[in-house]
Structure 1
Amino acid sequence: MALAFTSAPAIQGVLSSSSNELSKVASQFGSFQQNMLSASSVSRRRLAVRPLNAEPKKNHNSIIPSSAAATIVAPPEVGEKVVKEEDYEKLAKDLENASPLEIMDKALAKFGNDIAIAFSGAEDVALIEYARLTGRPFRVFSLDTGRLDPETYNFFDTVEKHYGIHIEYMFPDAVEVQALVRSKGLFSFYEDGHQECCRVRKVRPLRRALKGLRAWITGQRKDQSPGTRSDVPVVQADPVFEGLDGGIGSLVKWNPVANVDGKDIWNFLRAMNVPVNSLHAQGYVSIGCEPCTRSVLPGQHEREGRWWWEDARAKECGLHKGNLKEDSLNGNGNGDAHASEIATAADIFDTKNVVNLSRPGIENLLKLEDRREPWLVVLYAPWCQFCQAMEGSYVELAEKLAGSGVKVAKFRSDGDQKTFAEQELQLGSFPTILFFPKNSTRPIKYPTENRDVNSLMAFVNALR
């Protein structure tokens, strides 16, 4: 058996070589370790920037449950990841001509489980149908004020079964409701404005709900309410409420049907065979709490069924307070129109059969004790959509009365003339219709809000 021996110098050479290699390995390991520490530091910084669908921070005041936790994996590239801030004014312009379905799809795709549809139990069931058509998951919440109609509660149940969903209901604080009712009674809103009651029963529950979201979807339309919703964009940073992360701009508000006419919403609901609130068949269009909602009559604007004892520009409960212009309302909502709106509003009832009365003209009409012919006068504001809604019937009435001996006229009663109209002409809200009979010192106020041609004609025929 052959044995191989290595001399001592040779062994030393091998050991020396091994030592050099070990030194190199140690040096390389040290560099690798340093690089790993550096990469770990970058990863930690990257993880600190939470993507949109990451697990929301816990908020115990929120009623809406937060979404499930998402796994965050740091991307391989080096450098901090920065979440780009969205320009929602630009996005609103880009989507100005988009369909409601397209807007809804973009909203759901962008915010996933951190967005929810606000459902009131009225025609905004169209929002739920649009959401269903996108094929994406969606959430729905509603505010139960404790004073809704029985028909609305039945409608909630029907919608849940039809779409196979669970509506997330928000309730007012029982202690706050109890304090309000004990101190002011059940119907204080008829006397001092509806804002306080709405604040307790609607606004505060909504605020708690939105604290658990990054965005919400509403059924606001530009044609719904005069002076408050005419400029509603399809998407905006919410000007009033805060979202999950807190602070101004932390909540995004989507209004997919902002540019859709009410009649087109109803055409869509009928075409898709969508369930609707049975109150609609009884003349209710805009539906809220039972004491503050009533059906509208022919010739009335749909929003006149809400808080009907207040003026046109008060038709908001606080959920969309950001729509209100500053200096346009007082505590009861009976304020005048914004100055710029008064100046730029196009006139209405503009026809040869309607006499345009000036302030001296209406004053002379008031002073006449022995009128040779009766007069029918509408007190109006051209910016008021309730006045606009009855323009067609009033013009048609003027045509029918032409040559009959009854003069038909109009008197613009907003701006500087409003105080005079309230004190001398019985103006309560726009529009107000007065009949000046022959041989009478005081005008007779049209007692109902049914403003179709036949009803107005019956009023005239009964008095002339």
Structure 2
Amino acid sequence: MAFSMASSPAGVHSSLSSSFDQPRAAQFGVFQALDRPHIPSSAVHFSPRRSAVKPLNAEAKRNDSMVPSAATSFAPEVVEKVEVEDYEKLAEGLQNASPLEIMDKALEKFGNDIAIAFSGAEDVALIEYAHLTGRPFRVFSLDTGRLNPETYKFFDEVEKNYGIRIEYMFPDSSEVEALVRSKGLFSFYEDGHQECCRVRKVRPLRRALKGLRAWITGQRKDQSPGTRSEIPVVQVDPVFEGLDGGIGSLVKWNPVANVKGNDIWNFLRAMNVPVNSLHAQGYISIGCEPCTRPVLPGQHEREGRWWWEDAKAKECGLHKGNIKEENLNSNGNGTVSSSGTAAIPDLFTTQNIVNLSRPGIENLLKLENRKEPWLVVLYAPWCQLCQAMEGSYIELAEKLAGSGVKVAKFNADGDEKAFAQQELQLGSFPTIILFQKHSSRPIKYPSENRDVASLLAFVNALQ
């Protein structure tokens, strides 16, 4: 599916109106938005605005792939690429920069290959900052199918206000059907929200990001005390892959990382930006309707999300890289472990993947004449590389279902690590091994490519 791109013509706020009666943040003071606001050259050096990229003048044709639409809608341009090791230094240089400066730098650097992730909440500020830069920009959103009606109306208001088309990514219908038929519509209240979020949000996002080299999020340090307190303004994405494939192929920009929530709202009011009407009803952080409720005075904004779970680790999986490695004592449901450490959810939790215990993996090692081959991933829940390959491994298990190949996982961390290193050829996480039908020793997958096609080729070659 292609992202849309929009320019930011002067006067767009006054010339476009919504068909819905939506609230706007109250305007106060005097603020004149220029076509290109003055940015101090001492902070970041920007090149002149490029003329090669032309905004769309009509609605873009919506496709399942983002790349073809971008290729046919815009003139060719050269996108500057920065080596991976430069981003930590870039983040340090932008630490004291304004959100507008950071946004401008992101759009300048990546051109057609970057997009704003819009959730229908207060991160409409990101779209306003992009509009103020005067540069073309893209906007996408994840439609889970369970959003509030107010959020859908807000999407329409934003499109009309900025003269853009938000491009939506949807969950796979067969995956949603399988989840609902097997566990019901509200299983997340009983066993945690991670499985539903993975189907409705994480996998669609993974597909979207594979057509980009960078994305822009509305993460702030004050949003979630357990997971977002140390996010930088720019980083190499620790979980998702970009257009070039592989870990390190996607850059993540967080322009409002250092901005307080109150300051975001002051900005929205000053700019008379349209806002979601749910905010006036006490909603602050807005997600899916069944998993979001208003917060009470004095409560933290994330307490309205997944309120039945631990308050310190409220992530749906879109920003799983924020969860720290030390929080590895997990029971699989995002609750607190017996040691009191905030838990990290388990990985590869699907009916198509067998969860092997220590005796189970030992039995596989002992069998010399297996009736069927076994593909096993040795992993640790906290490992970012394991998290990054979760989607492809689950998809592989779905493809191999009924083929005679068993797909399994073994948590080889902690007390099991020494055993895995000695008996299972564990070098680093993740390690993938294949137990053939007529061999007592497993064969280690030698490649760093963990996409479905590469893993499937490995399995087929050794059957």
TM-score band (shorter)? 0.5 to 0.7
1:96 and 1:330 map into 2 onto residues whose CA distance is 36
Contact 1:222 1:229 in 2 (8 A): yes
1:222 and 1:86 map into 2 onto residues whose CA distance is 23
Deviation at 1:299, TM superposition (A): 1.3
When residues 332 and 83 of structure 1 are mapped into structure 2, their CA distance, relative to the original with a 3 A threshold, is closer
Report the AA paired with residue 272 of structure 2: N
1:164 and 1:61 map into 2 onto residues whose CA distance is 22
Deviation at 1:313, TM superposition (A): 2.4
1:293 and 1:189 map into 2 onto residues whose CA distance is 13
What is residue 334 of structure 2 aligned with on the other side? 333
When residues 285 and 149 of structure 1 are mapped into structure 2, their CA distance, relative to the original with a 3 A threshold, is same
1:282 and 1:132 map into 2 onto residues whose CA distance is 28
When residues 63 and 337 of structure 1 are mapped into structure 2, their CA distance, relative to the original with a 3 A threshold, is farther
1:224 and 1:71 map into 2 onto residues whose CA distance is 38
Contact 2:125 2:268 in 1 (8 A): yes
What is residue 303 of structure 1 aligned with on the other side? 302
Matched pairs, number: 277
2:339 and 2:215 map into 1 onto residues whose CA distance is 29
Determine if the alignment matches structure 1 residue 217 to structure 2 residue 216. Answer: yes
Deviation at 1:271, TM superposition (A): 0.3
Q: In the TM superposition, what whole-angstrom CA distance separates every residue of 1:296-320 from its partner, at most 9, and x where no partner exists?
A: 0011000000000001123100000
When residues 299 and 84 of structure 1 are mapped into structure 2, their CA distance, relative to the original with a 3 A threshold, is closer
1:71 and 1:311 map into 2 onto residues whose CA distance is 48
What is residue 86 of structure 2 aligned with on the other side? 87
Determine if the alignment matches structure 1 residue 184 to structure 2 residue 157. Answer: no
Contact 2:218 2:256 in 1 (8 A): yes
- Superposition misfits of 4+ residues, deviation over 6 angstroms: 337-341
2:135 and 2:312 map into 1 onto residues whose CA distance is 37
Report the AA paired with residue 157 of structure 1: D
Contact 1:327 1:338 in 2 (8 A): no
When residues 179 and 299 of structure 1 are mapped into structure 2, their CA distance, relative to the original with a 3 A threshold, is same
Determine if the alignment matches structure 1 residue 68 to structure 2 residue 64. Answer: no
Report the AA paired with residue 67 of structure 1: A
2:235 and 2:277 map into 1 onto residues whose CA distance is 32
What is residue 98 of structure 1 aligned with on the other side? 97
DSSP-derived class of the 1:314 partner? coil
Contact 2:115 2:137 in 1 (8 A): yes
What is residue 48 of structure 2 aligned with on the other side? none
Contact 1:198 1:317 in 2 (8 A): yes
Report the AA paired with residue 228 of structure 2: R
DSSP-derived class of the 1:142 partner? strand
1:234 and 1:83 map into 2 onto residues whose CA distance is 16
What is residue 232 of structure 1 aligned with on the other side? 231
What is residue 294 of structure 1 aligned with on the other side? 293
2:197 and 2:67 map into 1 onto residues whose CA distance is 20
Structure 2, gaps ≥5 residues long: 1-51, 54-62, 343-463
1:204 and 1:295 map into 2 onto residues whose CA distance is 27
Report the AA paired with residue 89 of structure 2: K
Deviation at 1:244, TM superposition (A): 0.3
2:142 and 2:83 map into 1 onto residues whose CA distance is 33
Report the AA paired with residue 239 of structure 1: P
Contact 1:219 1:257 in 2 (8 A): yes
Determine if the alignment matches structure 1 residue 264 to structure 2 residue 269. Answer: no
Contact 2:237 2:250 in 1 (8 A): yes
Contact 2:291 2:306 in 1 (8 A): yes
When residues 71 and 157 of structure 1 are mapped into structure 2, their CA distance, relative to the original with a 3 A threshold, is closer
1:72 and 1:282 map into 2 onto residues whose CA distance is 45
Q: Relative to structure 2, which stretch is displaced further, 325-334 or 105-114?
A: 325-334
1:64 and 1:169 map into 2 onto residues whose CA distance is 14
When residues 82 and 168 of structure 1 are mapped into structure 2, their CA distance, relative to the original with a 3 A threshold, is closer
What is residue 319 of structure 2 aligned with on the other side? 320
Determine if the alignment matches structure 1 residue 168 to structure 2 residue 167. Answer: yes
DSSP-derived class of the 1:276 partner? coil
What is residue 135 of structure 1 aligned with on the other side? 134
Report the AA paired with residue 332 of structure 1: N
Contact 2:220 2:254 in 1 (8 A): yes
Q: What RMSD over aligned residues (CA atoms) do the two structures have, in Å? A: 2.5
- The structure with the larger Rg is 1
Give 1:268-287 correspondences, 5 Å limit: 268-287=267-286
Give 1:6-45 correspondences, 5 Å limit: none
2:338 and 2:131 map into 1 onto residues whose CA distance is 40
What is residue 106 of structure 2 aligned with on the other side? 107
Deviation at 1:334, TM superposition (A): 1.4
Deviation at 1:185, TM superposition (A): 0.1
Report the AA paired with residue 206 of structure 1: L
Structure 1, gaps ≥5 residues long: 1-52, 55-59, 74-80, 342-464
DSSP-derived class of the 1:199 partner? helix
Q: TM-score, normalised by structure 2?
A: 0.57
Report the AA paired with residue 300 of structure 2: H
Give 1:275-424 correspondences, 5 Å limit: 275-328=274-327, 329-335=330-336
Contact 1:62 1:210 in 2 (8 A): no
DSSP-derived class of the 1:160 partner? helix
When residues 65 and 265 of structure 1 are mapped into structure 2, their CA distance, relative to the original with a 3 A threshold, is farther
When residues 228 and 280 of structure 1 are mapped into structure 2, their CA distance, relative to the original with a 3 A threshold, is same
1:152 and 1:72 map into 2 onto residues whose CA distance is 35
Contact 1:233 1:258 in 2 (8 A): yes
2:81 and 2:213 map into 1 onto residues whose CA distance is 18
When residues 83 and 305 of structure 1 are mapped into structure 2, their CA distance, relative to the original with a 3 A threshold, is closer
1:218 and 1:212 map into 2 onto residues whose CA distance is 16
When residues 82 and 308 of structure 1 are mapped into structure 2, their CA distance, relative to the original with a 3 A threshold, is closer
Deviation at 1:62, TM superposition (A): 3.8
Deviation at 1:90, TM superposition (A): 0.7
Q: In the TM superposition, what whole-angstrom CA distance separates every residue of 1:222-254 from its partner, at most 9, and x where no partner exists?
A: 000021000110000000000000011100000
